Amino acid sequence: MKRGDTAKFKKPAKDEELKKGDRVRFRRVVDQGDDKIVMVLLEDPDGGRVLVESLIWESLNPTRVLPISELIKVSEKKDVMKKSK
């Protein structure tokens, strides 16, 4: 990418429509550990962005607004809040 270029992201596929309560991950890994972060949508996506809460087993999990093009739905149904042994 050259200076001044803007990043173009693909829209999620129709079967990846996100809604409030869905568990998601980052579509692409930028920083080490991004592939392990699971988030839950706190609202329905509107205008290309959505409020998410990171599930990191803290008493107060961080929230942030992310572009929906950067998120992909988590397919596994296991409880991500349980710590594995």
Kindly state the tokens that stand for 49. 């962005």
Report residue 23: phi and psi, to 5°. -95, 135
- Architecture of domain 16-73 in CATH? Roll (2.30)
Task: Give the CA distances from residue 81 to residues 27, 44, 50, 71, 74, in Å, rounded to whole numbers and listed in that order.
Answer: 21, 22, 21, 19, 14
pLDDT one-digit tens code per residue, 27-84: 888 888 888 889 999 999 888 899 999 988 777 889 999 999 899 998 765 554 455 4
Enter the pTM of the model.
0.67
Kindly state the tokens that stand for 7. 């990043």
Query: What pLDDT score was predicted for residue 3?
Result: 58
Query: What pLDDT score was predicted for residue 57?
Result: 77
Whether residue 12 is predicted with pLDDT greater than 60 in this model: the reply is no
